[in-house]
Structure 1
Amino acid sequence: MAFEGLADRLQGTIKRITGKGKVSEQDVKEMTREVRLALLEADVNFKVVKQLINRIKERAVGQEVMESLTPGQQVIKVVKEELTELMGGEQSKIAASDRPPTVIMMAGLQGAGKTTTVGKLAAHLRKNHNRKPLLAAADIYRPAAIQQLETLGKQLDMPVFSIGTEANPVDIAKKAIEKAKEEHYDYVIIDTAGRLHVDEDLMDELAQIKTAVTPDEIFLVVDAMTGQDAVNVAESFNEQLDVTGVVLTKLDGDTRGGAALSIKAVTGKPIKFAGMGEKLDQLEAFHPERMASRILGMGDVLSLIEKAQTNVDEKQAKDLEEKMRTMSFTFDDFLEQMGQVKNMGPLDELMAMIPGSGKMKGLKNAQLDEKQLVHVEAIIQSMTKKERQDPGLMNASRKKRIAKGSGTSVSQVNRLLKQFDEMKKMMKQMTNMQKGKKGKGMNLPFM
């Protein structure tokens, strides 16, 4: 999970000061020392750490904290605000030209995930902004780069503009924009060539494309797993191209998070998007405040709601609510609900968005919960249609058959039946309490 190491260390540090009725300068000094060590261990640029700690110290021993009724809480507020500011302050939205198409030029080193990010960004624009993108294959050097983009285009059912490896990348970009104007595409996303390291030829070609097509956005794609190297790469590209934003890939695999915390401070350019998984729908708009909340264990309810609104079918949610209210909720409905939850992303990421979830027992073993859901799915799928509709039919021989068919034990089958019955009762109580309220509900099958 992104920032896991940093989050664990910071949450442990600030927990010691949160409940204090009175905070001394010594308390602040000890806390900031721990915060500094946590950030350095997370591979945050040391100059950035120094500046951040100085700002936290200055504010934490000032009037807003020392004269507060809850100084411990105020210190945490200061830390959160400074972390938010460090990552950019507020979300930097993607450009949209008054005269379409909006042109986005993607740059980065080989291996950073640039071509895949082109596909992810196109999927994001269509799904979240209702836009029609055209992908342009301008990487003529890397073997199979064009084929990779065309394969992504087929998976997404999106057009890819390509005229082969013999054409000049500048001409490819220009002709892609001409096609987009003719066929009324909203965006053109240009996949440019990368190299194993920053070199003069690469920069010259990118500069030529920039001059020829004057892009609305120049996104630099960097691999968060490379830590401070990602920041160095961002600096080099920014000096040459004056990029408009950064897309961090593999942020889900970087438990330290140093690159995300350093890039904005070092380059002055915002992080626009973050890759949170390998799937083509796992690209998120980067929200500094929400990320700071996640790091400090405060949850991220807004992102959780957005995921639900995007992935949970409204009609199904309403039908489900009615079934729960009337106690006609079945294992088929339960299976359908599990599918919607899985579409929202890994369970540990969803749980991290719930405020206070870090204190919940077993969260550190979130992978066990994922496996448990697989077992639950297998048990339900091993039931007959009648058994799913009416769990009351279950007897010893049926349970034994289901356990054998799902590769589980009879005790696991019994536990699921009991939990299902308890959940039905609980959800009926909850829906009765909410009668008369409008809006889309989200029912999560927590085991």
Structure 2
Amino acid sequence: MTATAAHDALAEPVHPVPGRWTAALALANGAIWVGWYGPLQILLALQAAEYAPAGMSKESMLAWVTGAGALVSLIANPVFGALSDRTTARWGRRTPWIVTGAAGGAASLLLLATATSFLTMALGWCLVQLTLNAAFAAVTAAVPDRVPRGQRGTVGGWLGAAQILGVVTGAGLATLVGGIAAGYAACAAFALIGVLPYVLRHRDPPLPATARPPFAWRPFLTGFWLSPRRHPDFGWAWLTRFLINLSNALVLLYLLYYLRDRLSHPAPDEGVLILTAVNAATLLATVVTGGVWSDRVGRRKPFVLWSGVLMAAATLMLALWQTWPGAIVAAAVLGIGFGVFTSVDFALMTQVLPAAAHRGKDLGVINIANALPQVTAPALAAPLVTQLGGYPTLYATSAAIALTGALLVNRIRAVP
């Protein structure tokens, strides 16, 4: 029985997962993104504008708060992924972390709602990132645990669709429910409730205690370094994801302020919601289709390459066509590219993981490529906007970064 259980937990999956499993996991993923992006797109910016201390601009305060949270995310995701790899609870390796992470994230969002200073905002946002990353690391690790390689583009597409719906839902809740505190409460409730169908209805194969290696600090800590020389495909996949996510982070960070200060939009928070909805509509039109198409042709790299090129073109529009119609067109084109990238790049990443026993940790290391741009983007964006040419320079730089990331995917050898 022990050998069978270990095989269930660590074996390369071969049986396709049913649609109900994919739907439940996608809902859990979307719920986590609601908890992140309600604050990131609307609520934190409103708090920064209201509570920025004397001598600190709202842009700088927002950059410091989001940067601190992203630094926590940078560490938390691979650590919780590694801990879930070693978890031997009878509920499985991933489920305990999904539950505790979502519950902790909801509580942290409610705490953040009470923040009225730079320090309390930074502390609250760091707690949100810490807890929701525990859930996110476990949710993403469930894919290589359970989904065969030939189905991962499709499953990745549905997870990507849930992600963007989570972004839209988070922005909608933050904008429409009435006030900062109510926005945080709505996002907290969604983040917690959304994971329940997956954890209550779907079994997570447990890891027997005999299959868990003895714990020692040195191997645990050194295991987070995966040499690009020994695992070059893993390294190139990581760098591709980092650069394209950095480009996207540069686009989103000051979007509210771009509409308010550059385009003089009369209701910039509503403008962000409109652009998010346009982006979501085109993304949803391509995210599942791109993943399914990639599965059928058995190729990943061409999809990642051309989606990155399209994203670079859309971002350049924001630099060259600084009008409200231009922003709408850019949001639509960016959604088309990011939809294909989201599903296919995720499938590609799961195919370059070095070892089955460390899927959670290794995906956590790759997910640093999602979190590190949140640290890097504020440091890069603030001087570009305030000292080096403003928003045209910011978005032209973002386009160049996306194009570089797209081209580097060609360096991956093991995945077609």
After TM superposition, the score normalised by the length of structure 2 is 0.24
More relative contact order in 1 or in 2 (CA 8 Å, sep 6+)? 2
Indicate the structure (1 or 2) with the bigger Cα radius of gyration.
Answer: 1
Higher helix share: 2
Higher strand share: 1
